[in-house]
Amino acid sequence: MLGMLVWGFGGAGVIGACGSKEPGPLPSCPTQPDTPTDTKAGCATMPDPCFRYRIQLMGNPSTDLALRAKYIAAFSTACYVSDAPTPTFNCFYKTPQEACDDGVLVPEVFGAAPYDKNYPACERIPGTENDSRQVGPDPANNITIYYEPAPRQTPLVEVDGVPMEVSGPYRNLPELKDLWPGNDFYCYGGMVDGTPLRQRDWILQVNRNAHKGDAGVGEIHSDLAGFKWPCTVMNENCEEVATECEEPLVLHDPDNEKAPFHPDLVAQVHHVVPMKDKRSCSWGTNSNKNAAVISRGLNRHFTNDDPPEEEVKRLNNAPAYTP
């Protein structure tokens, strides 16, 4: 009964009679802080370099795939393959302390003699933005944490073991000239009936035009209808309940303010490869290939996570919309 997004958010006490699958009214619960997922940052230029803290790895994980897997298993999303033309594998962190904590573990992950971890935490190297940490009885035995530009993470997504470009259902729309990592879908570009539209509005209109009902009124359909994900809903006692949400087919139109709607069912234009990576560095671009129309609830679930294989498969295999 709590399974589908379109009827789960109200909880068991607000679901329509006799198992109705229509969304019911929201319970009278305290308003939770909003998590913005459809920002209006506008049309930006090439982002500035993203400086982060790099640890020293052993071996050559850029070519040694087994070693690369060991570092990923140990250090998770801090480690990644950079974008072409010369992909490299490194581990970057937001803070020097995070980098220090993982840096002293590198030999153990690699399979060498471990560092001595009984020495103080990292200290700034005078005259630089780098840090160091002693890892042996001789002060010369230390590791360096380098503060430097973190290269952009590759936008290719591994699907069935093969790195794949995201090429979603809006791939046939002409691209804008301002395509940059971290750019939102708010550049002007598309034209509808001779009127220039922001990219976000253009994509939504193309979606509406493809889904006109018997009355000739365009509906907005989710490009990931049926997608399931773990979520929490609020029941009639204002308690969070763990359940599974499912993306509906028809979404509420964000430009129809008069229509009643559940806020988590409003259509948003989603970056498949997110605008920001786990280090808060610019990542996904505002390419039409990287766009999908989904609900606000599902968009929030995807926020800044690596795109799951199922999402990329479904979007790449979806029929292309007509411009």
Model pLDDT, residue 5 = 46
Average pLDDT of span 218-247 = 92
pLDDT value at 3 more than 90: no
Q: Which of 2-11, 53-62, 221-230 has the lowest mean pLDDT?
A: 2-11
Q: How many CA atoms lie within 13 A of 56 on its CB side?
A: 12
Choose the most confident range, by mean pLDDT, from 37-51, 104-118, 179-193, 253-267: 104-118
Measure the CA dihedral 257/263/268/274, to 10°: 150
Kindly report, residue by residue over 300-309, the tens digit of the pLDDT.
999 878 999 9
Tell me what pLDDT residue 30 has.
47
As a whole number, mean pLDDT of residues 49-71 equals 97
| pLDDT of 1 above 70 | no
CA–CA gap between residue 22 and residue 6 (Å, rounded): 7
Rounded CA gap, 20 and 24, in Å? 9
Least confident range of 30-44, 54-68, 306-320: 30-44
Side-chain-side CA neighbours of residue 271 (13 Å): 27
pLDDT value, residue 24: 39
Please, what is the average pLDDT of the chain? 85
Annotate 259-287 with DSSP letters as a single string: S---GGGBEEEEESS-SB-TTS-B-----
Per mean pLDDT, which range of 52-61, 90-99, 156-165, 179-188 is the poorest?
Answer: 179-188
| pLDDT per residue as tens digits for the range 254-305 | 988 676 678 899 999 999 999 999 999 999 999 999 999 999 999 999 987 8
Q: List the single range of 5-9, 148-152, 199-203, 272-276 with lowest mean pLDDT.
A: 5-9
